[in-house]
Chain A
Amino acid sequence: MAQELEFQNAYKYRINVCCSSGCVPFGALKVLKAFEDAVKEFGVEKECKVARTGCIGTCSVGPAVLVEPGDYLYQSVTPERVREIVRDHIVLGLPVKDMLYERNAYFKKQHRLVLRNAGKIDPSRIQDYINMGGYGGLLKCLTDTPQAVINELIASGLRGRGGAGFPTGQKWSLVARAQNSPKYIVANLDEGDPGVFANRTLAEADPHAIIEGMLIAAYAIGAEKGYIYIRSEYPLAIQTLQKAIAQAKAMTLLGESILETPFKFDLELRFGAGAFVAGEETAILASVEGKRAMPRPRPPYPANSGLWQKPTLIQNVETLANIPLIIQNGGAWFAKTGTPKCTGTKCFSLTGKVNNPGLIEVPMGITLREVVFDVGGGVPDGKKFKAVLVGGPSGGCLPDTLLDIPIDYDSLVKVGAIMGSGGIVVLDEDSCMVDTARFFTEFCVDESCGKCTPCRAGLARLKDVFGKITNGAGEMSDITTLEKSSSFIRDGSLCGLGQTAPNPVITTLRYFKDEYIQHIVEKRCDAGKCFKSRGEEEIE
């Protein structure tokens, strides 16, 4: 360990090149290579370390490069300009001003706990993680009783980050108390929401935080086997995790007698195949067992009868990444961040019509206005803000008047949105709310598993009505149909998908009813999204 620290401290500068899925398509690997070549060319390779890291957070101006010390963040770096950075910044000590990311407000209101190491460590080196205090939580918990670990979790107030916000400590107690064995852990990395990339980014930037969280959970509940269920659309995250698992095994952090204690835990990846509903907790279990990802009624709850009818703990990877911090610093320390009922932070993928899109992490209780206008920098091109969609395709569209509500599980549900997996999409005046609700309804029609009639048939009915309204054949009675069908779907579906699928319809009807009436009565769409496309199709 001391050797490793010495190795790291030998460098005066560290150039972190973001090589996550957001930056790689835009040439990050070429930039990395150019930096490696340039430090050699200028003969500074002994004092300047070039590292391949995960997401730095400024995904809209990739490839992003962070130079330490001093946290100089370069944006839109091209291989052509790499020499200039090395020459001026590293050799002469003069940062290249015109390439620096200047929007400091983007980071000012963020609070990085889960993403503590993102963009700072090389995710392919377990030593980097250990250097930042990684696996310290595991070491600490192994000297404690499982019950003490659970008590710490309860004290922290941590709630599940998968969307529903169930208290994590309570869930662990239930699985720990279950009599049957063996017990399993399933980490949910099936980020099926379009427009959300927080879990993927976490896995690409700091895979060991997820593994350590699973190990601590396994110790607390007495599980010996775990699965990470990951979307097959995330090749880089899969590779990163596979490598991390192999490294952890080599260091006896996984497998039999972990760190020479009797504790054993084995970990495998399982691949999803593109089904939004597979993120639901009973559906994910069916999928891990190799079946269609269809939810089943609860009870029995997975805590008692989950994977192969055995007690199973299902946890989102963001929840798991919080665990090592809580064990190391204590539950009381964690509870200081956020609000009393909703502690800690939340990662969001901030996208849409906003100046600074990217991956952000903010304390719970921050207002939507702060997220959209301070962190996000507001709406670009002088356009007017119209709505913000919180919670993915089954979230809610909220107007300007609701921007001052705090972000926490309960406040969002009160206004018709959900925390979901953490998608925040900003819409400006060019967006039509009727068309937006139609878009999400179509998504949910495709993704409904078909088990419950209200969800399967009801969503299809909503889609038909939207087709009618956006084609100019709407009648005022359609609004009643939308409202009634939405409540049937919400009340008559088994799982979270069906129960939340009508949210975009319900909220747009609640907050933007005028637009519906305009479409139906005046056959007019101010955003120019509706009626028009139908016309073009007919001409074709």
Chain B
Amino acid sequence: MIKDDKRRAMLEKVLKEHDYQESALLEILHRAQEIYGYLDKELLMDISGSLNLPPSHVYGVVTFYSFFKLKKSGEHVVTGCLGTACYVNEVEQILEAIEQEFDLKRGGSTADGKLSLLLTRCIGACAMAPNIVVDYEVIGKATKELVIQKIKQALGGVKAETS
């Protein structure tokens, strides 16, 4: 239960730091996502109650910004960059290859919950486009083969280096 665990105590501290101000809603949501990994309905109800804001307002803010996640992601996360430079450098082909190889759709996870394929607008390493992020490792000037190999390594339990 959300109310009992240690994470709730951390969230309470954050709320207190911001003096339960409604103008701190974005900061609080950021911290809540750091603490819980994603923002589920129960958590959002809790935050709206604490800040004395209508749940519709909180939900509206959360869904307005693409950074907030309402669903839990897979154990390993592959993020494809959809920035302009990556688009021009054919990132689409790599995304299609990942979808085919691991049988999942962008925005979703594999049936066993091991792997998610997410998209981001731009990671800002445009000069190295196309870029794919496998867990924490950015793969620049990426190719289908290289990315699939890296994902297989990650799934196989070989820990991806975080440089």
- Chain B residues with Cβ below 8 Å from A30 are 163
Q: Does B155 lie at the interface of the complex (its beta carbon under 8 Å from any beta carbon of A)? A: no
Candidates B22, B88, B92; contact of A431 at CB < 8 Å: B88
Candidates B22, B96, B120; contact of A233 at CB < 8 Å: B120
CB distance from B158 to the nearest CB of A (A): 18
Candidates A60, A233, A276, A392; contact of B128 at CB < 8 Å: A60
Assign chain A's interface to a size class. 35 or more
B64 and A275: CB pair below 8 A? yes
Contact of A59 with B26 at beta-carbon distance under 8 Å, contacts A30-B163, A192-B121, A291-B61 already known:
no
B121 and A194: CB pair below 8 A? yes
Q: Does A427 lie at the interface of the complex (its beta carbon under 8 Å from any beta carbon of B)? A: yes
- The residue on B at minimum CB distance from A59 is B127
- Chain B residues with Cβ below 8 Å from A425 are 84-85, 88
User: How far does the alpha carbon of A287 sit from the alpha carbon of B30 in the complex, in Å?
Assistant: 13
Residue-wise, chain A 502-517 has the 8 Å CB interface mask toward B (1 for contact) of: 0000000000000000
Q: Which among B9-17, B65-73, B107-115, B145-153 touches the partner chain?
A: B65-73
B88 and A427: CB pair below 8 A? yes
Q: Does B45 lie at the interface of the complex (its beta carbon under 8 Å from any beta carbon of A)? A: no
Candidates B25, B29, B87; contact of A439 at CB < 8 Å: B87
Q: Which among A164-172, A325-333, A352-360, A401-409 touches the partner chain?
A: A352-360
- Chain A residues with Cβ below 8 Å from B65 are 272-275, 293
- Chain B residues with Cβ below 8 Å from A88 are none
- Chain A residues with Cβ below 8 Å from B24 are 290
With an 8 Å Cβ cutoff, the count of chain B residues facing the other chain is 41
- Chain B residues with Cβ below 8 Å from A200 are 124
Residue-wise, chain A 1-32 has the 8 Å CB interface mask toward B (1 for contact) of: 00000000000000000000110111111100
- Chain A residues with Cβ below 8 Å from B61 are 290-292
- Chain A residues with Cβ below 8 Å from B27 are 270-271, 290
B85 and A271: CB pair below 8 A? no
B60 and A392: CB pair below 8 A? no
A349 and B126: CB pair below 8 A? yes
Interface residues of B in 4-44 (CB under 8 A from A): 21-27, 29-30
CB distance from A44 to the nearest CB of B (A): 26
Q: Does A197 lie at the interface of the complex (its beta carbon under 8 Å from any beta carbon of B)? A: yes
B-binding residues in A (CB < 8 A):
21-22, 24-30, 59-60, 62, 191-197, 200, 232-234, 270-276, 287-293, 349, 351-353, 357-358, 389, 392-393, 423, 425, 427, 431, 439-440, 443, 449, 533, 536, 540
8 cross-chain pairs, A with B, having the tightest CB-CB distances, nearest first? A195-B84, A25-B138, A273-B65, A59-B127, A194-B83, A194-B122, A351-B85, A274-B66
- Given A22-B124, A292-B61, A352-B84, 16 more A-B residue pairs with CB atoms under 8 Å apart are A28-B163, A62-B128, A192-B121, A194-B84, A195-B84, A233-B123, A234-B124, A272-B67, A274-B66, A290-B21, A293-B64, A351-B129, A352-B129, A358-B127, A389-B84, A425-B84
21 A-B interface contacts by CB (under 8 A): A25-B125, A25-B128, A26-B138, A30-B163, A59-B125, A59-B126, A59-B127, A59-B128, A191-B124, A193-B84, A194-B82, A194-B85, A194-B122, A195-B84, A233-B120, A272-B65, A273-B67, A287-B26, A351-B127, A392-B84, A425-B88
